[in-house]
Chains A and B, each alone.
Chain A
Amino acid sequence: MQAYLKLDHIDKTFSRGNASTEVLKDINLTIEKGEYVSIIGHSGCGKSTLLNIVAGLTPTTMGCVLLENREVNSPGPDRAVVFQNHSLLPWLTVYENVRLGVDKVFASSKTRGERDAWTMHNLNLVQMAHAKDKRPAEISGGMKQRVGIARALAMEPKVLLLDEPFGALDALTRAHLQDSVMALHQKLGNTILMITHDVDEAVLLSDRIVMMTNGPSARIGEVLDVPLARPRKRLELSTNAAYLKCRLRVLEFLYERHRFVEAA
């Protein structure tokens, strides 16, 4: 099968004056269409940088990102991002936040009415249609993140990039939102690249888990296939042998072989 999204020998060095730090070293990864891939690693290993590179928000030093065999090096709606801290515009309502992207992406291909319907459709997907006229400050953290997801989905991205999307949420809300994302992935078949530092989350949601070594010069240490059938049920998995094995593999990688050095 042809690679859908390909990260080809990506190096990233940040330089400031004479000092330069190599953050990422020789990152190679291919992702197939419809696949859910998680990137996990200790904080500071450059996983957010890697996501920003795929999003086109950060330029690479060497190497390139190929989407459907075409190089992408600037941001665009084909790689929509769900940001860690939701990044909704506080002066717009929930509806207007989603509509902003819809209006740009479908400016010529959809009529005004169709764009409205499409915006509402996406708000319905994340069960936020009831709060469409509220402002971000008036809804909870979990709801904001739902709207962030709706905004990204509404752009009909080829790849959906999730930057620690549940990191700032409490455990119960997080579990609820993870189930929502799983259901959406099942329903829409999106290709998803997610950054996370939560082992359970990675195993539960992903088809493959990419484990990064510690920075500087972080590399891909190991890629783990998660051979669990979908749809997955959180409760059933907690006693599933394959699930526990995957979880153990990731934990071993993170805490035994690449323990986080508290040097910084």
Chain B
Amino acid sequence: MNMPATKTEPVTMLPATVAPVVAMTPKRPPRADKYIKMVRETAVRGVPPLIVLALLMLFWELVCRRAGSTLPPPSRVYKDTKELIFDPFFDRGGIDKGLFWHLSASLQRVALGYSLAAVAGIALGTLVGQSVWAMRGLDPIFQVLRTIPPLAWLPLSLAAFRDGQPSAIFVIFITSIWPIIINTAVGIRNIPQDYRNVAAVVQLNPLEFFWKIMIPAAAPYIFTGLRIGIGLSWLAIVAAEMLIGGVGIGFFIWDAWNSSHISEIILALFYVGIIGFVLDRVIAGLAKVVTRGTALN
């Protein structure tokens, strides 16, 4: 993209002759073409979802507009929640806060629980993938524990921690750790023997082997686990917060339901969806950067 610009610069500094005109004219069209192409590509990707979204909104509006409908149409949702949309930062104490504060409280819990799960999950996954004994011992236990629904852990963790905050974090942790463990273990088990031979000949010690061979070689698998994990933890946080109360998007939804503010629920769901999507994209983007080398092969 920079090519035409750098090439024309010295030319324009020369006294006006026929040459610059000749040199510049043929360079223009490709650049314009490029922009047209970019716009066209964006349109090709962006227009269909916009049209479908507009049609869905229209359908929703028509269905819910009738008198006696139980759910508000989009126009009502917008009218009811205008204040929440345009002022997400207000804080009137207690749980009467803007949506930003609720979402950031939820995100903080997820960040903490998920980080712990990522570290512990990769460590346990490595152990299970590397040691046959550990796999035989731990794998059956993991297979049973991972089927327990996230919320079933909540009463137990409340009993153990006697506080909502650590309990919610624990639920996130225990929900997102299983896919991380299992995928890491598969990744470690699939490290080609060749790489192990290389490490043996070079005489890497176990710690170097972990950082220089295992983690990069298993990275694509590990990131698959991390991506499933972040999705699950965002699923779990909303449910957990409904039960533990306090500040958080989950409790915001529950509170709105109790006060019959259906429009607020719809707005909150919209935000939950968008943030879940962004979290997934962030991990996917991170995976792309980190596994650049491995993915090529």
Which positions in A face B, CB cutoff 8 Å? 55-57, 74-77, 79-81, 83, 85, 87, 89-92, 100-101, 104-105, 135-138, 155
Contact = CB atoms under 8 A, between A and B. Distances in A.
A101 B208 CA distance: 12
A80 B296 contact: no
B213 A138 contact: no
A137 B297 contact: yes
Given A83-B198, A90-B294, 8 more contacts: A56-B200, A80-B201, A87-B195, A89-B216, A91-B219, A92-B293, A101-B202, A137-B293
Contact of B197 (A77, A81, A91): A81
B69 interface: no
B202 A104 contact: yes
Given A85-B194, A87-B194, A89-B216, A138 B200 contact: no
A167 to B, nearest CB: 14
22 contacts: A55-B197, A57-B200, A75-B197, A75-B200, A76-B203, A77-B203, A81-B201, A83-B198, A87-B198, A89-B195, A89-B198, A89-B216, A90-B297, A91-B219, A91-B292, A100-B202, A101-B201, A104-B203, A105-B202, A135-B293, A135-B296, A137-B293
B213 to A, nearest CB: 7
A176 to B, nearest CB: 24
A76 B216 contact: no
Nearest to B208: A104
Interface residues of B, number: 22
Contact of A77 (B201, B208, B216, B296): B201
A100 B296 contact: no
Contact of A90 (B200, B202, B203, B293): B293
Given A76-B203, A100-B212, A104-B204, A90 B197 contact: no
Contacts of B294: 90-91
Chain A binding surface SS class: loop
Contacts of B292: 91
A70 B293 CA distance: 40
Nearest to B219: A91
Contacts of B293: 90-92, 135, 137
A185 B212 CA distance: 31
Contacts of A92: 293
Residue among B195, B201, B294, B297 facing the most chain A CB atoms (10 A cut-off): B201
Contacts of B194: 83, 85, 87
Contacts of B291: 91
Interface string B229-270: 000000000000000000000000000000000000000000
A136 B194 CA distance: 15
Contacts of B200: 56-57, 74-75
A55 B296 contact: no
B72 to A, nearest CB: 52
Interface string B29-67: 000000000000000000000000000000000000000
A55 B201 contact: yes
B126 to A, nearest CB: 17
Nearest to A87: B194
Per CB-CB distance, the 10 closest pairs between chain A and chain B, nearest first, are A91-B293, A90-B297, A137-B296, A87-B194, A75-B200, A91-B216, A101-B202, A75-B201, A91-B294, A137-B297
Contacts of B212: 89, 100
A76 B198 contact: no
Given A89-B198, A89-B213, A91-B216, A136 B297 contact: yes
